């Protein structure tokens, strides 16, 4: 997060004692928040026999546990699976959202309001209420244990359509009229004007869609039985139930699974904030 400097020294810069108290409070809370992460990292770097030996001290450091977890948990395969599914879902959501949002904002057609209301209403349906039937649908397609099964239900979301629609609405109608007079059709306007102007929001949606797909838990549990189709989340579940006697392996697996997303979020902080707060602004 970038440091915000505010131009109000009189209020914002607090005096000695209070300032010290604030530091103490923030530091203690930060230590509590970081504590689980610290314990995991230290545990992951210890050999199996030593993980319970002074769990808070980074003694006997080794990368052996991480590499064992990688092999035993088949985490490489799980990471690839998660990446494939999440990339498909993200690209598809960007395309379906941009197209639908464009139709709702720039095209006139009968029933537009009703169709939009119907799309938006799907936001009220909790995922859990649809999964039983979706699993049956997937079964009838023969898509249990497949990438299609993992990805297809999430190729479009009302959230994505709504988010892109909100930014398309800020594009002045005059721009479309002018473009139209210059002979630019809808597809041209979409590609050359609407999408480039909305790039920050599209980036935020991309990150949000990727993260949501990557973190899916219940659907992969329901739709896969073959460990070859484990995502990182279900792979972790499998590693946990297999490795109950080897806590260090499971701990190391957790660190491996968490690491890529940590790195990714640190690189895309601005998109993340925009994506997470998209629902908080008045529509």
Partner 1 sequence: MSKRVGRPAARRWRDFGLAVAMLAPSGVILGMFVIYPLVKAIFLGRQRCGVTSCRTTSWHQYVDAFRSNEFQDALIVTIKYALITVPIGLALGVGLAVLADKYIKGVGIFRTIFSSTVATSVAVASVMWFFLLNPNVGVIADWLGGTAKTPGFLQDPGTALWAVSASSIWANLGFTFIVVTAGLQSVPKDLYESAYVDGANGFTRFTNVTLPMISPVLLFVTVVLTARAFEGFGEIDLLTEGGPKAKTTTLTYLAYGRGLPTSGDDGLRATVTVLLFFVLLVLALIQFRGLEKRVHYGN
- Candidate segments 61-69, 142-150, 200-208, 263-271, binder of partner 1 by CB under 8 A: 263-271
Q: Which of 87, 115, 171, 197 forms a contact with partner 1 (CB under 8 A)?
A: 115
What is the CB-side half-sphere exposure of residue 118 using CA atoms within 13 A?
6
Least gap, CB of 76 to partner 1 (angstroms) = 17
Q: Is residue 103 close enough to count as binding partner 1 by CB under 8 A?
A: yes
How far apart are CB 260 and partner 1 at their closest, in Å? 9
Question: Nearest Cα to 258, choosing from 26, 43, 99?
Answer: 43
Per-residue string for binding with partner 1, 179-208, x by CB under 8 A?
A: -xx----x----------------------
Of residues 28, 34, 61, 175, which one binds partner 1 by CB under 8 A? 34
The verdict on 26 binding partner 1 (CB under 8 A) reads: yes
Measured distance CA(181)–CA(183) in Å, rounded = 5
Q: Tell me: does residue 127 bind partner 1 (CB under 8 A).
A: yes
Nearest to 201 by CA among 277, 118, 103: 277
Helix (H, G, I), strand (E, B) or coil at 193: helix
24 binds partner 1 (CB under 8 A): no
Residue of 81, 44, 45, 71 lying closest to 234 (CA atoms)? 81
Is residue 2 a contact point for partner 1 (CB under 8 A)? Answer: yes
Give the position of tokens 């997060």: 1
Pairwise CA distance, residues 205 & 212, whole Å: 10
Smallest separation, CB 196 to partner 1 (Å): 18
How many other β-carbons are positioned within 10 Å of the β-carbon of residue 127? 12
Does the footprint of partner 1 cover residue 59 (CB under 8 A)?
A: no
Q: Which stretch binds partner 1 (CB under 8 A): 58-66, 193-201, 202-210, 218-226?
A: 218-226
Structure tokens at 234: 């279900």
Indicate the residue among 61 and 127 with the shorter CB distance to partner 1.
Answer: 127
Is 119 a binding residue for partner 1 by CB under 8 A? The answer is yes
Give the separation between CA 66 and CA 78, rounded to whole angstroms.
Answer: 15
Those residues with Cβ within 8 angstroms of residue 110's Cβ, 6 or more apart along the chain or in another chain = none
State yes or no: residue 125 binds partner 1 (CB under 8 A).
Answer: yes
Q: Find the binder of partner 1 among 24, 57, 80, 218 (CB under 8 A).
A: 218
Rounded Cα gap, residues 137 and 152, in angstroms? 11
Measured from the CB atom, the residue of 124 and 226 that comes closer to partner 1 is 124
Q: Return the half-sphere exposure (C-beta side, CA atoms, 13 A cut-off) of residue 127.
A: 13
155 contacts 90 by C-beta, under 8 angstroms: no
Does the footprint of partner 1 cover residue 141 (CB under 8 A)?
A: no
The residues in 230-259 that bind partner 1, with binding defined as CB under 8 A, are 232-234, 236-237, 240, 247, 250-251, 253-254, 257-258
């Amino acid at each position: 997060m970038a440091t915000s400097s505010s131009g109000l020294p009189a209020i914002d810069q607090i005096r000695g004692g209070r300032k010290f108290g604030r530091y103490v409070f923030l530091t203690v809370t930060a230590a509590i928040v970081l504590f689980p992460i610290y314990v995991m990292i230290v545990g992951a770097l210890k050999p199996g026999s030593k993980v319970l030996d002074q769990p808070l001290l980074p003694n006997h450091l080794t990368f052996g546990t991480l590499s064992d977890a990688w092999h035993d948990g088949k985490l490489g395969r799980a990471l690839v699976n998660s990446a494939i599914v999440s990339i498909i879902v993200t690209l598809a959501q960007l395309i379906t959202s941009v197209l639908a949002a464009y139709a709702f904002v720039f095209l006139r057609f009968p029933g537009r309001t009703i169709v939009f209301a119907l799309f938006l209403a799907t936001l009220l349906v909790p995922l859990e209420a649809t999964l039983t039937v979706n699993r049956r649908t997937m079964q009838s397609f023969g898509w249990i244990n497949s990438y299609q099964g993992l990805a297809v239900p999430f190729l479009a979301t009302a959230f994505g359509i709504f988010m892109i629609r909100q930014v398309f609405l800020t594009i002045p109608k005059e721009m479309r009229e002018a473009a139209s007079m210059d002979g630019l059709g809808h597809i041209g306007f979409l590609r050359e004007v609407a999408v480039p102007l909305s790039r920050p929001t599209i980036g935020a949606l991309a990150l949000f869609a990727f993260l949501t797909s990557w973190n899916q838990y219940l659907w992969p549990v329901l739709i896969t039985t073959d460990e070859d189709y484990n995502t990182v989340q279900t792979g972790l579940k499998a590693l946990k139930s297999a490795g109950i006697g080897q806590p260090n392996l499971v701990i190391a697996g957790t660190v491996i699974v968490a690491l890529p997303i940590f790195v990714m979020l640190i690189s895309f902080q601005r998109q993340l904030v925009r994506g997470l707060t998209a629902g908080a602004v008045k529509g």
